[in-house]
Amino acid sequence: MNPVRIAAPPSKSLSHRALICAALASGDSILEGLLDSQDLSRTKECLRALGVELEPCHGGLLVRGTVPGPASGAAVSLNVGESGTTCRLMAAVAAAFPGKWRIHGEERMHERPISHLTDALVSQGVNVIFEEKTGYPPLTIAGQGLSGGETPINPEQSSQYLSGLLLAAPLARSRTVITLTGRSTASWPYVALTLDMMDAFGAEAAVELRAGSGWRPCPHVSGAAGAEPADIRFLVNPGPYRARNMRIEGDWSNASYFLAAGTVGRVPVTVTGLRRDSAQGDRFMVDILERMGARVLWDKDEVTVFPSALHGVDVNMNACPDIVPTVAAVAAFARGETVISGAAHLAIKECDRIQAPVAELSKAGVDITARADGMAVRGGPFRTRAKLSAHGDHRMAMSLSLLELGGVAVSLDNPACVAKSFPDFWTAWALIRRANGVPHAL
C-alpha cells in the first residue's frame, strides 16, 4: 500500500529564533521556508515595533537589522497575542535596548507566569512593573539595556526564560555569566536550538559543567542534558550578531500528528523535510513510536511510519513536552498501560496539557488518569461519537484528530485554533482522512 505523503511545515521554534537573531544582526538576512502562523506573525509585529524592517523577498523574508530601540518616550506596545514563545523571547530582547516596552497579550497569556525571567532582568538593572498580577503579563520593562555580569535564572517552568536571556546576552554591556537555579531544566533541547541559532548568526555562547572546584566546557546539544541545574553555566561575551541567509528545517512537533497517524491508522504515512539529526526535542516522537512497537523506515529526509500493533511504555517527556498530547492519543490505541512523566510544567501551557487531554480523551471512552507530572493511559474500546473541546489549544486540536482513526466521529469545538502554529493542518489532515476512509466530522 502506497503511503500518504505529507510535507513537514517549517519549524516554529527555529522560525522564532531565526527571526530574532536576524533582527539583531547588522545587515540584511534572507530567511527561506519561514513558518507562516499566528505565533510567528506576533513575533514579526513585535520586531517591527522595535524598528526592524521585514519585507518579502524572492519567496523568503528579508530581515534588515539592527534594532535601534528608542531612548525615551512612551512605552512601545509589544502585543504577543497568545504566543508564549514571543512573550518570553521578546521580553528579554526588548530589555536589552534603552527605552520602555509594554509586554501584553490575549486570552490565557495573562495567566502564564513570567517572573523567573523578569527576576533575571531585574538583576541586570532593568525596571519591571506589573500592571495587574505580580509575575504575569501585562508588564512594562524600562531601562538602559542589560548590564551583564552574573545572572541567575530558574528554568523549571519554561526553557524559554533561559532562551530569551541567552538571545539578549550578546547585547549586554559586559560579559554575562548565566547560572541556573531550581531542580530541573524544562525542555533542554529548546535551549540547544537557541544556542545553535545564536552560533549560526555569529553570537557565541559557551556552556560549561561544574568539575570539582572549577568548570569545564561541554557541547551544548548533548553535553549538559540531564545535568543538575546548579552544575551548568553559560558564558556570553558582548558582540554583534552577523547577518546571513538561512532555510528553516521541518518541524518535528507538527510532524508528530502524521507520524502517529501512520501508526494507528490503516495506511502508512511518509513525512518529508525532517532532519534525522535535528536538535529539536520532538524528534523523539519516532523513538517513542518505535518503543511502542511501530515499524519506522528512514530514507534521507523522509520518514515512513507503518500501521503497527502497539503496546504501552513508560516515557519521561521532560525534553519533549509539546508532543505529550500526541503520545497520549497514540497510547489510547495501545495494548496495556502507557505512563507519561516528567511534564509537570505542562500545566502552564496554552491550556493545562495534563488535565485537558485527560478530560477530552475520557469523553471518547479512553481509560486515562492524571498524575502530578503527566498521565497514565490504558488502551481500550472507543466510543463511536465524542463532542470534544480543544481548550483553545492548537496542539490539543491536532492530537484529538487521531481519534478519528479509531472510528470515533469527533465533533471539535474550535478546529480553527490550529492557526496558531499550523494553519494548513486540516488541509493536510484531509489526505489522512481520505486514505483511511474517514468521513469529515471535525
Residue 154: CATH number of its domain: 3.65.10.10
Helix axes 84-95, 38-49, angle to 10 degrees: 20
- Check pLDDT > 60 for residue 70: no
Do 430 and 406 have their domain in common? yes
Q: Which residue has the higher pLDDT, 376 or 69?
A: 376
Do 295 and 194 have their domain in common? no
- Residue 241: DSSP 8-state: E
Strand intervals (E) in 165-299: 176-180, 205-211, 214-217, 232-236, 241-242, 246-247, 269-272, 295-299
Average pLDDT over residues 269-289: 95
Provide the pLDDT for residue 348.
Answer: 76
Query: Are 310 and 291 a contacting pair, CB within 8 Å?
Result: no
- Residue 416: DSSP 8-state: G
48 labelled ligand-binding: no
100 labelled ligand-binding: no
Q: Is 328 helix (H, G, I), strand (E, B) or coil?
A: helix
CA distances from 70 to 54, 98, 104, 137 (A): 18, 7, 19, 22
Pairwise CA distance, residues 418 & 355, whole Å: 19
Q: Is residue 242 part of a domain?
A: no
Q: Which three cell numbers mark 188?
A: 533542554
- Check pLDDT > 70 for residue 291: yes
Residues with a catalytic annotation lie at 322
Q: Is residue 223 part of a domain?
A: yes
**Domain end point (choices 184, 212, 236):** 236
Do 232 and 283 have their domain in common? no
Average pLDDT over residues 159-167: 96
Pairwise CA distance, residues 37 & 32, whole Å: 15
Do 339 and 408 have their domain in common? yes
Cα torsion angle, 392, 395, 401, 402, sign: negative
164 labelled ligand-binding: no
Q: Is residue 25 part of a domain?
A: yes
**Domain end point (choices 236, 261, 285):** 236
The string of pLDDT tens digits covering residues 5-49 is 999 999 999 999 999 999 999 999 999 999 999 999 999 999 999
Q: What is the separation of C-alpha 230 from the centre of its chain, rounded to a whole number of angstroms?
A: 24
Do 17 and 134 have their domain in common? yes
Provide the pLDDT for residue 442.
Answer: 54
Do 224 and 260 have their domain in common? no
Pairwise CA distance, residues 338 & 332, whole Å: 9
Provide the pLDDT for residue 183.
Answer: 83
Query: Are 95 and 121 a contacting pair, CB within 8 Å?
Result: yes
Strands 25-32 and 60-65 turn out to be antiparallel
**Domain end point (choices 206, 236, 266):** 236
Locus of grid cell 531601562: 143
Q: Is residue 241 part of a domain?
A: no
Do 319 and 288 have their domain in common? yes
12 labelled ligand-binding: yes
Cα-Cα end-to-end distance for the chain: 26
Do 167 and 302 have their domain in common? no
Provide the pLDDT for residue 187.
Answer: 76
Provide the pLDDT for residue 71.
Answer: 55
Pairwise CA distance, residues 316 & 311, whole Å: 16
159 labelled ligand-binding: yes
Do 138 and 20 have their domain in common? yes
395 labelled ligand-binding: yes
Locus of grid cell 539595556: 145
How many Cβ atoms sit within 10 Å of the Cβ of residue 183?
9
Range of lowest pLDDT (106-110, 130-134, 183-187, 302-306): 183-187
Could you tell me which of 430, 441, 442, 420 has the C-alpha nearest to residue 41? 420
Q: Which long-range contacts (CB under 8 A, 24 or more apart) does 434-437 make?
A: 435/4, 435/265, 435/266, 435/267, 436/261, 436/265, 436/266, 436/267, 436/404, 436/405, 437/266
Query: Are 61 and 86 a contacting pair, CB within 8 Å?
Result: no
Do 156 and 284 have their domain in common? no
Q: Is residue 246 part of a domain?
A: no
Q: Is residue 441 part of a domain?
A: no
Average pLDDT over residues 375-385: 92
Pairwise CA distance, residues 184 & 229, whole Å: 6
Q: Is residue 105 part of a domain?
A: yes
In 306-354, which ranges are continuous DSSP H helix?
324-331
Tell me phi and psi for residue 211, to 5 degrees. -135, 95
Q: Which three cell numbers mark 381?
A: 474500546
Q: Is residue 245 part of a domain?
A: no
Do 282 and 372 have their domain in common? yes
Do 20 and 124 have their domain in common? yes
Query: Are 10 and 37 a contacting pair, CB within 8 Å?
Result: no
Count the domains in the chain: 2
Q: Which residues pair with 362 in a beta bridge?
A: none
Strands 337-341 and 25-32 turn out to be unpaired
Provide the pLDDT for residue 188.
Answer: 83
Query: Are 173 and 145 a contacting pair, CB within 8 Å?
Result: yes
Q: Which residues pair with 95 in a beta bridge?
A: none
Q: Which domain holds residue 204?
A: 4-236
Query: Are 426 and 400 a contacting pair, CB within 8 Å?
Result: no
184 labelled ligand-binding: no
Range of lowest pLDDT (66-75, 189-198, 216-225, 227-236): 66-75
Mean pLDDT in the chain?
Answer: 93
